[in-house]
Amino acid sequence: MGITLPILILCLPLFMFLLLGIGGVKMSRKVAGILGILGMGTTMTLAYIVAFTYFFSGNPEFIIDGVRQQYQVFDVTWLAFTPKLVVNLGFLLDPISAMMLVVITTISFMVHLYSWGYMEHEGGFQRYYAFLSLFSFSMLGLVVATNIFQMYIFWELVGVSSFLLIGFFYRLPSAVSASKKAFIVTRFADLGFLLGILTLSYFTDTFNFVSMTSNPMNVLAETGGATFMGCSVLTWAMVLIFTGGMGKSAMLPLHIWLPDAMEGPTPVSALIHAATMVVAGVYLVARMFPVYCVVEASMTFICCVGAITAFYAAVVACTQVDIKRVLAFSTISQIAFMMVSLGVARDYMIPGEHYSGLGYMAGMFHLFTHAMFKALLFLGAGALIHAVHSNDYTKMGGLRKYMPITHWTFLIGCLAIAGIYPFSGFFSKDEMLAAMFARHWFWGAWMTMVAGLTAFYMFRLYYLIFWWEENPEYEHHKPHDAPWQMSLPLIILAAVSCVSGFIPFGELVTWNGAPYHIHIEAPVAATSLTVAVLAILLATVMYRKKNPLPEKFRNALPGLWTAAYHRFYWDEIYLFITHNIIFNGICKAIAWFDRHVIDATMDGFAKVTQKVSYSIRGMQSGNVQAYVLWYFFGALALAIITLICII
């Protein structure tokens, strides 16, 4: 494959960013919008071409003996730290990056299109498209990274584009603080990522994914068994790298930024905070998968973090009022699902286990399907918000009559995420659960429960929005379906969500490139389906019509409900730590110390000199006899002191 297309895929969004960013002021909205959509459309086409070429051309560069290869389209030197440790910028094609190319460009294009309608009346339209392009560029750069450092570079860039987009409505203080929070929390996580890279690359002397993952045991050997605080340094490195992923993918305890990030425009939430950027953590783990497998502890760590987060987020999602928050927590929960799935996977055969690599495939599969239906849900939520001008489900209810397209597409999304056959979520979730059960029954059972919760809160949301009872305000302001620019993406994504489960994903994406034949595990599928259906039924009973049942539930478990409603007080804890301890306790103390101790010492030298200067002025009394006295004493003192010193 030539390098033209890959380079174009990266450069086109960048170019659009510069064009719209610098020249945007001089453009009309329309021109900017069309340019943006066209640019993204072209990129999408190119990405499709590349991805399909990779998957289906059968070119020996890409596939040898049925095993898909990792292929570096290009890899140029960007910065050489040392002769050996060189940062390259390149384009790596392998199953997951090709898959991600498709996901990113698709969703991005949908969002571009959707935004044209959604953002029509907002100021800074051109800027918005510029930022979207920047994000697309960064995200594409991230997924095609040939080395971990390139990934880190783009990792930071997606962070900043996320910051810019969350804070798009920069006149609102809440948006500003949300964007700040998102950036700083992920930045903190990136610190771990950076330290991880430092440690890892110190031993491997390379950043390159291919050379690290192709022979992971070598990496272990290179560390020479070095340990730090009881763990091998490789464990430290991998866990630290995973920390970066935890930040981006909003794993507990670094999840707090994601719900707040919903302050951004809803299409942005769909693109960044549902489909693409937040799965970067998953992608990172998948990318480094063979190395993770070398250190068992890190895999266990990933599993635990994922499992806890998934459950936590699902519980919280059951109580939220803001529809975007519900979706946000749902996203967290689903990503955690993928994490667990990766965590249970192994790149080597465990005796008696046939499924060791299944989790990987399933996670990726879920990543793909989740991106589609979650984007669909977010875009649907955007349409709702667009119609009702509120994020709050209490301002909604009974909307199915007014907004049929939105209603149906949203329902499809809900079914998909709940894992109902034949929607896409069923297939991916089933594979994941199968992998988990195969690893240990505990993971399977736990995550099945989470899946049930998922179905419950999604349908709770669905019913509260579209059923329950009508908001009386509709009479003044009748909600209606969104314009075609917005509806079209909804329909497309809904269609994809319906069918994408039938994609033979295992043929395309596996940890080692060798195809894997998906087959539904009947017991697992049955269990999860049952749980999901039961959960949906429960939701139907509780929320289909206005009734006091939810109120009763709430009153039955007041403590739990309040805690869940306040997201188990994570924000408050963080606020306390950052504001009271770090800001007031450390920063202010240091600033005070600087002014009143260090600076005062420096001033003190001057003051003391001044003081001394004043205190000795009596020497110059104006009386010549006193002068002579000093004179004489001085002469005597010179002689006497020297005398004493010499003798």
Partner 1 sequence: MDLNLLWYLVPSVVMFACGVYGFVTRKNMIAILISLELMLNSADLNFAIFNRFLFPGSMEGMVFTLFAIAIAAAETAIAIAIIINIYRAVGSTNVLESNKMKH
Partner 2 sequence: MVGNIILYFVVALVIVIFSFMAIRTDKILRAATYLLFVLLGSAVFYFQMGYQFLGAVQIAVYAGGIMVLFVFAILLTHKPNDKAAPMESHRRIAGAVAAGIGTALLLYALFTMPMVCSSNGTMLSLGEALSGDQITMKMIGEAFTGTNRFQYLLPFEAVSVLLLASIIGGVTVGRKR
Partner 3 sequence: MFGNILIWFVIIPILMMAGLGLCRNNGMGAIRAVMVVGSTALLALAIWLCVDFLGLRAAGIDDEMLYRGSWMWYAPLNIHLAVGVDGISVLMLLLSAIIVFAGTFASWKINPLPKNFFLWFALLSTGVFGFFISIDMFTMFMFYEVALIPMYLLIGVWGTGRKEYSAMKLTLMLMGGSAFLMLGLLGIYWHSAPEGGELTWNILEIAHNNAVDPTWQNLLFCFTFVGFGVLGAMFPFHTWSPDGHACAPTAVSMLHAGVLMKLGGYGCFRIAIYLLPQAANELAWIFIILTGISVVYGAFSACVQTDLKYINAYSSVSHCGMVLFALLMLNTTAMTGAILQMLSHGLMTALFFALIGMIYGRTHTRDIRQMGGLMQIMPYLGVCYMIAGFASLGLPGLSGFVAEMTIFFGAWEDVDFFHRAFVVAATCSIVITAVYILRVVGKLLLGPVYDQHHLQLTDATWFERFSTVTLIICIAGIGCFPNWINETIQHSFLPIVKALQTAI
Question: In terms of CB distance, is 131 or 312 closer to partner 3?
Answer: 131
Stretch that binds partner 3, among 183-191, 256-264, 428-436, 480-488 (CB under 8 A): 183-191
Distances (CA, A) of 370 to 187, 250, 425, 545, 546: 25, 16, 7, 29, 30
Q: Which does 167 bind (CB under 5 to 8 A by kind): partner 1, partner 3, partner 2, none?
A: partner 3
Question: Cα torsion for 455, 459, 462, 467, to the nearest 10°?
Answer: 170
Q: Which does 639 bind (CB under 5 to 8 A by kind): partner 1, partner 3, partner 2, none?
A: partner 2
Phi, psi of 359 (to 5 degrees): -55, -40
Burial track 136-171 (b if 16+ CB lie within 10 A, e otherwise): bbbbbbbbbbbbbbbbbbbbbbbbbbbbbbbbbbee
Stretch that binds partner 1, among 1-9, 356-364, 472-480, 622-630 (CB under 8 A): 622-630
The answer to whether 639 contacts partner 2 (rule: CB under 8 A) is yes
Q: Which does 621 bind (CB under 5 to 8 A by kind): partner 2, partner 1, partner 3, none?
A: partner 1
Q: Which does 154 bind (CB under 5 to 8 A by kind): partner 2, partner 1, partner 3, none?
A: partner 3
Least spacing, CB of residue 189 vs partner 3, in Å: 9
**Measured at the alpha carbon of residue 76, what is the angle toward residues 74 and 81, in degrees to the nearest 5?**
145
Q: Count residues contacting partner 3 (CB under 8 A)?
A: 48
The answer to whether 633 contacts partner 2 (rule: CB under 8 A) is yes
Burial track 191-204 (b if 16+ CB lie within 10 A, e otherwise): ebbbbbbebbbebb
User: What is the rounded CA–CA span in Å between residue 413 and residue 47?
Assistant: 25
The answer to whether 632 contacts partner 2 (rule: CB under 8 A) is yes
Phi, psi of 122 (to 5 degrees): -90, 150
Site mask for partner 3 (CB under 8 A), range 33-72, x = bound: ----------------------------------------
Stretch that binds partner 1, among 197-205, 397-405, 515-523, 614-622 (CB under 8 A): 614-622
Question: In terms of CB distance, is 202 or 570 closer to partner 3?
Answer: 202
Q: Which does 640 bind (CB under 5 to 8 A by kind): partner 3, partner 2, partner 1, none?
A: partner 2
Q: Which does 613 bind (CB under 5 to 8 A by kind): partner 2, partner 3, partner 1, none?
A: none
Specify the pairing of strand 86-93 against strand 71-80. Answer: antiparallel
Angle between helices 358-388 and 95-118 (to 10 degrees): 0
Q: What residues from 143 to 162 belong to the interface with partner 2 (CB under 8 A)?
A: none
Nearest Cα neighbor of 456 from 381, 530, 533 is 533
Specify the pairing of strand 63-64 against strand 67-68. Answer: antiparallel
Residue type, 128: Y
Least spacing, CB of residue 600 vs partner 2, in Å: 38
The answer to whether 171 contacts partner 3 (rule: CB under 8 A) is yes
The answer to whether 173 contacts partner 3 (rule: CB under 8 A) is yes
Find the binder of partner 3 among 183, 289, 301, 360 (CB under 8 A): 183
Q: How many helices (H) and strands (E) does the chain have?
A: 28, 6
Least spacing, CB of residue 631 vs partner 2, in Å: 10
The answer to whether 626 contacts partner 1 (rule: CB under 8 A) is yes
- CB–CB of 345/488 below 8 Å? no
Least spacing, CB of residue 11 vs partner 3, in Å: 13
The answer to whether 638 contacts partner 2 (rule: CB under 8 A) is no
Q: Which does 156 bind (CB under 5 to 8 A by kind): partner 2, partner 1, partner 3, none?
A: partner 3
Q: Which does 633 bind (CB under 5 to 8 A by kind): partner 3, partner 2, partner 1, none?
A: partner 2
Stretch that binds partner 1, among 6-14, 240-248, 522-530, 627-635 (CB under 8 A): 627-635
User: What is the rounded CA–CA span in Å between residue 151 and residue 234?
Assistant: 19
Residue type, 557: L
348 C-beta neighbours (distance < 10 Å), count? 10
User: What is the rounded CA–CA span in Å between residue 426 and residue 516?
Assistant: 18
Site mask for partner 2 (CB under 8 A), range 598-627, x = bound: ---------------------------xx-
Residue 40 is encoded by which pair of tokens? 């993204």
Find the binder of partner 3 among 167, 245, 382, 452 (CB under 8 A): 167
Q: Which does 183 bind (CB under 5 to 8 A by kind): partner 1, partner 2, partner 3, none?
A: partner 3
Phi, psi of 421 (to 5 degrees): -65, 140
The answer to whether 553 contacts partner 2 (rule: CB under 8 A) is no
Find the binder of partner 3 among 177, 211, 390, 485 (CB under 8 A): 177
Site of tokens 């009022």:
321
Find the binder of partner 3 among 188, 561, 568, 574 (CB under 8 A): 188
Distances (CA, A) of 494 to 131, 262, 377, 486, 491: 26, 22, 9, 13, 5
591 C-beta neighbours (distance < 10 Å), count? 10
User: What is the rounded CA–CA span in Å between residue 478 and residue 362?
Assistant: 43
Site mask for partner 2 (CB under 8 A), range 498-537, x = bound: ----------------------------------------
Distances (CA, A) of 380 to 316, 477, 478, 646: 21, 19, 18, 97
Question: In terms of CB distance, is 170 or 632 closer to partner 1?
Answer: 632
The answer to whether 628 contacts partner 1 (rule: CB under 8 A) is yes
441 C-beta neighbours (distance < 10 Å), count? 10
Question: In terms of CB distance, is 58 or 622 closer to partner 2?
Answer: 622
Run of H or E including 558: helix 558-565
Stretch that binds partner 3, among 154-162, 337-345, 475-483, 532-540 (CB under 8 A): 154-162
- CB–CB of 206/182 below 8 Å? no
Run of H or E including 88: strand 86-93
Find the binder of partner 2 among 198, 629, 641, 642 (CB under 8 A): 629
Nearest Cα neighbor of 490 from 391, 368, 384, 388 is 384
- Residue 223, burial from CB neighbour count under 10 angstroms (0-12, 13-18, 19+): buried
Q: What residues from 599 to 618 belong to the interface with partner 3 (CB under 8 A)?
A: 599, 601-603, 606
Find the binder of partner 1 among 580, 609, 620, 642 (CB under 8 A): 620
Question: In terms of CB distance, is 172 or 635 closer to partner 1?
Answer: 635
Name the residues that contact partner 3, by CB under 8 A: 25, 77-82, 85, 149, 152-154, 156-157, 160, 163, 167, 170-173, 176-177, 180, 183-184, 187-188, 191, 194-195, 198-199, 201-202, 583, 586-588, 590-591, 594, 598-599, 601-603, 606
Name the residues that contact partner 2, by CB under 8 A: 625-626, 629, 632-633, 636, 639-640
Name the residues that contact partner 1, by CB under 8 A: 617, 620-626, 628-629, 632
